[in-house]
Structures are given as C-alpha cells and as structure tokens.
Amino acid sequence: MEAKIKDLALKYFDQVGFAKATRPLTMDYYDSWIKNGYHGNMEYLRRHQNRKSNPQSLLPGARTWITLALDYDTGEPLSLNIKEEMLREKKGWISRYARNGDYHKEIAKRHEMLVGELSLMFPGEKFLGCVDTKPVLERDVAQQSGLGWIGKNTCLINKDLGSFLFLSEILTTLLMVADNPVADHCGTCTKCLDSCPTGAFISPRHLDATKCISYWTIENETPPPLELAKKFGTNVFGCDICQDVCPWNSKSRRTRQLKTPGESSGILDLEKFSKMSDEDIQEFLDGTAMDRATPQHFRQNIEITLENLRRDSYEG
C-alpha cells in the first residue's frame, strides 16, 4: 500500500515520505524558541503553538503524515555568483522561492488532485492538505518522514535536491508504516553560519529571526535598525545566502536537470522600482508569493537597498 501511494504522490511532487501523526520531536525546542522571543513580532507563531503540538487538532483521528516536497530551483544564478554584477548595476534580489506564481495556490491544486485520487482508493478515510499557512512544524515532519535532515541553517536538506524545496503535507486517518529519518550530513561544514551578513545564527540550527534579513524584508514592516539594515546588501525580499553557499545545493545543481526559469528572474532594477507608484508595485506583487507585502513595505525595502549601494560603508 505504501509503495502504491508513493507512486501516486510522485505524479504531483518530487519527494514523498510518511511519518506518524504524533507530537513533533522538536516541539520542546520550538516552545523555548518562542518563549525567548526569537520569533520577533510573528505572533501567529505563538498563537499556533498548541495546535502544532497536536495533529489531531487539525484532523480528528489523524494517524499519518504524507509529507511532500516540490523542488523550486531553476537554472538562475546563485546570489553569491552575481553579487558584484548586482552592486555595479544597482540590482535587487528577490528570494528564489517568491519568484513567479504563488506557490500556495500551485501546491493546493496538486493536493486537491492527489487527495481526490486517494479518496477514491480509500473511501472510508479522511485527508487534509496542509501548505505552510496551516499550523504544522513542517521541517520536523519532513525529517521524520525521511525527506532530509535539518541543516545548520535550519532548512531541510535533501541529498538529491538540496534545500530549495516547498514542503507540504497531507494529514490522514489512514494508518501507514512510517519512513526512517535521515541522518545529519552537514558534518563539520559551517558555510551557512559563516556567510550570514547579520549574524542571525546563534549556533547551528538556532536562528534569531529578529536578526534575519528575510524577517525584516518579509514579515516585519517596521523600519529595521540602521546598523542591521546596512548589512542587508542587495536583498529586497527575502535572502538566499545561507542556502546559496550550501555545498548540497551546489552538488544538486551539478547532478540533475534544473527546471526552466519562469517569467521573473528575481533580479530587480532598483532605480526603476523606486520611481513606481504604489499601484504599479501592487500589480507587480499580485499573484506571487510576495503579495503578502504591502507596496509601502516593498518600497521601504527598495530604499534600504539603494541606500546600501550608495553608502561608502556598505557591509553586505
């Protein structure tokens, strides 16, 4: 049965694994992380704490996680490979995950098709699709499902696909044999920790979100502290540095065929965007994973990036 379900899931996703629908193994760490305020102003993380500890609060009678991964890497260059060009040409970086269409909608569509087929196979069971808008400790579930290990940069890393992955789940009342977790393959490497411009990693796998570029350019609309903003470099929306330097992503790119880039290259003409109206910026954001940002927040990010390029003491 498990093999048949995996074959079915692989019609829609790049990786699939199973885990027991029990309390996440990293729940105590997560509770401590929230208690110490490392989540910043992302209060929805605190509100969802109890639900994340209990999958049955999402689906009564849940017994198994069907964990899914969708590769979003393309042949577009890594940020570290075009850093000098971006500085010279006044370009801004959009995180790879947020380019092109809204992945939430794409994954939900694939969930719907997969759940439709599973419901026909198992008419007495229930299935609930979960994207990252539902209260799930996704990386914990993915690790327990054998899809990879949690790297020192807190991202899930798959030996074949690297870490540029959209994770999602289907929670079900169907009982299945769980896959074995994958061992840690980071070894002594600390490239991700050493490369973070803002020093957001307190220690391996321990992130202070309030120092993270992605937190300030995506989650928090208030102006960041100046000394921190100086280190944002050319990052306008999100940051890929700790993934771009990861040897597992470089290896993945060498050993497989990458997907074709979509319409958006994710490299912005900063001067052009600085002159755009709020309406034009909103039109640019609409239909993408960036539409959670307001035009005002996006403009603030543009202005910080331009100021970094003008500043003699640029530290990015």
Catalytic residues: 132
Counting Cα atoms < 13 Å in the Cβ hemisphere of 70 gives 20
Picking from 301, 287, 280, the residue whose alpha carbon sits closest to that of residue 215 is 301
**For 40, left (φ over 0), alpha (ψ -120 to 50), or beta?**
left
Token code pair at residue 122: 């198992």
Token code pair at residue 211: 């120092």
What are the beta bridge partners of residue 17? 67
Judge contact between 198 and 212, C-beta under 8 A: yes
Judge contact between 234 and 305, C-beta under 8 A: yes
Cα gap 12→17, rounded to integer Å: 13
Amino acid, single-letter form, for residue 291 = D
Picking from 68, 55, 72, the residue whose alpha carbon sits closest to that of residue 8 is 68
Query: What does the longest C-alpha to C-alpha distance in the chain come to?
Result: 66
Q: Which residues contact 171 (CB under 8 A, 6 or more apart)?
A: 21, 55, 58, 59, 62, 64, 65, 66, 127, 128, 130
For residue 289, CA distances in Å to 223, 231, 238 come to 21, 24, 11
The 3-state DSSP class for residue 165 equals strand
Amino acid, single-letter form, for residue 276 = M
How many C-beta atoms lie closer than 10 Å to residue 1's C-beta? 11
